[in-house]
Amino acid sequence: MSGFCVECEPLSIGDVSFGVTDVAMKFLNCFQGDVKSHTRSVTAPIRKIEDILSELIEIQEECSDDNWDDEGAVAISISAMFEAMQFIRLLPVHLKLPDIAPSANGAINFEWRKDDFICNVELSGINEIVYSAYFSKVNRDYGMKPYFGKIPNKVIELIESMS
Amino acid sequence: MDIVSDDELTRFIRPKQKRYVTADGGVRTAAFSTGSDGKVSVFVTSDMLLNEIWDHGDAHFPHETIGRAYLQAQVVISEGLEIDFNNEPPKHADIIGFPSDKDLNLAKRQALAVKAKFEKR
């Protein structure tokens, strides 16, 4: 697992012994300053970053074991959760925040929609970002790139197209 | 049983999968994500009344079904995927043939989600 917040006390393997929530909350607390700068207008019906971070913790806890869906799903790892938290933090503020869901392949799935267009990003905690945008049956854009704490411009562009 | 293009496929949604549905009743891409076996479990519900479909869901997921995502088999076939009808349990099939390339795999799942509809129980 790579470092996620250079301004904060680094997480150590030993942190895991306090439980996922403790570690995640420690990570979450690192964001407090950033959360304010990312928070959208309170009048806008858009979820706040802190709500999404909390939901990510919830998802990891609910899906931490293999077969969490009783259909053979792969567990959502702590690394995937941290990577997803970092991704949310790195999203430029002008972008719409995504909906999130656990994927049976062990990834956190981010989703943006605009009319019949849809854009997905998946992170599995293994330093790669998988993305796909669907504009029509014959107009799609998808790919996979290394992910080391910087969202690829291509992914930003696709998310922007959903705004 | 051969699956034809206008057959209806139902993926039952259970509480553990509540995030597979959008707030406005759409179906998320995650609803068609594949687990360790690379398959997506569905039931062929063509020509079934809605109450029969829910009863069928109850038979396999007692007291758990909160809704269903459904789509035409044509959507699956047009993506180059296959439907393996095994009838175990009855009316059960698996969507198979998802590519191993992660990005193309995601694109295929996304295309299914775009065309799928959600029906709340």
- Å from A27 to nearest chain B CA? 23
Residue A121 shares a structural domain with residue A52 = yes
- Å from B8 to nearest chain A CA? 20
Residue A129 shares a structural domain with residue A59 = yes
Name which of A73, A113, A132 is nearest B106 (Cβ-Cβ).
A132
- For Cα atoms A1, A124, B81, give the angle at the middle one, nearest 5 degrees: 155
Residue pair A108/A81 in contact by the 8 Å Cβ criterion: yes
Residue A37 shares a structural domain with residue A53 = no
Hey, is B93 helix, strand or coil? strand
Least confident of A102-106, A108-112, A113-117, B77-81: A113-117
CB contact under 8 A, B102 and A131: no
- For Cα atoms B69, A135, A99, give the angle at the middle one, nearest 5 degrees: 55
Q: Which domain holds residue A6?
A: 1-44
CB contact under 8 A, B33 and A109: yes
Asked casually if ipTM beats, i.e. exceeds, 0.85, the reply is yes
- Å from B115 to nearest chain A CA? 9
How far is the C-alpha of A118 from the C-alpha of B113, rounded, in Å?
A: 9
Name which of B30, B35, B102 is nearest A71 (Cβ-Cβ).
B35
CB contact under 8 A, B107 and A59: no
pLDDT digits (tens, 9 = 90+) for A109-132: 999 999 889 999 999 999 999 999
* DSSP H or E stretch at residue A84: helix A78-90
Q: What is the mean pLDDT of residues B58-73?
A: 92
pLDDT digits (tens, 9 = 90+) for A34-48: 444 443 334 333 568
Q: What number of other Cβ atoms are within 10 A of residue B69's Cβ?
A: 24
At A7, the amino acid letter reads E
Instruction: Using the predicted structure, report yes or no on whether residue A15 has a pLDDT greater than 50.
Output: no
CA distances from A30 to A4, A35, A49, B9, B17 (A): 10, 9, 13, 45, 30
Residue A29 shares a structural domain with residue A61 = no
Q: Which residues of B touch A100 (CB under 8 A)?
A: 19
Name which of B41, B102, B114 is nearest A134 (Cβ-Cβ).
B114
Domain total for chain A?
A: 2
Residue A54 shares a structural domain with residue A64 = yes
Q: Say what percent of chain A tops pLDDT 90.
A: 67
Name which of A104, A107, A142 is nearest B107 (Cβ-Cβ).
A142
Nearest by Cα to B108 from B10, B2, B34:
B34
Q: What is the mean pLDDT of residues B57-82?
A: 94
Residue A8 shares a structural domain with residue A52 = no
Q: What is the mean pLDDT of residues A67-79?
A: 95
How far is the C-alpha of A131 from the C-alpha of A158, rounded, in Å?
A: 9
The pLDDT, as a whole number, for residue A155 is: 98
How far is the C-alpha of A37 from the C-alpha of A49, rounded, in Å?
A: 10
Residue A3 shares a structural domain with residue A14 = yes
Whether residue B20 lies within 8 A of chain A, CB to CB, comes out as yes
Residue A70 shares a structural domain with residue A19 = no
pLDDT digits (tens, 9 = 90+) for B13-46: 999 899 999 988 899 999 999 999 999 999 999 9
Instruction: Using the predicted structure, report yes or no on whether residue B80 has a pLDDT greater than 60.
Output: yes
The pLDDT, as a whole number, for residue A43 is: 37
Instruction: Using the predicted structure, report yes or no on whether residue A12 has a pLDDT greater than 50.
Output: no
Residue A79 shares a structural domain with residue A147 = yes
How far is the C-alpha of A91 from the C-alpha of A101, rounded, in Å?
A: 17
- Å from A17 to nearest chain B CA? 26
Residue A27 shares a structural domain with residue A63 = no
Hey, is B41 helix, strand or coil? strand
pLDDT band for position A9 (cuts 50, 70, 90): very low
Residue A35 shares a structural domain with residue A95 = no
Residue A145 shares a structural domain with residue A131 = yes
Interface of B with A in 82-121 (CB under 8 A): 101-104, 106-107, 110-111, 113-114
Q: What is the mean pLDDT of residues A133-158?
A: 96
Name which of A99, A103, A120 is nearest B22 (Cβ-Cβ).
A99
Residue of A nearest to B107 (CA): A132
Q: Which residues of B touch A122 (CB under 8 A)?
A: 102, 106
Hey, is B46 helix, strand or coil? coil
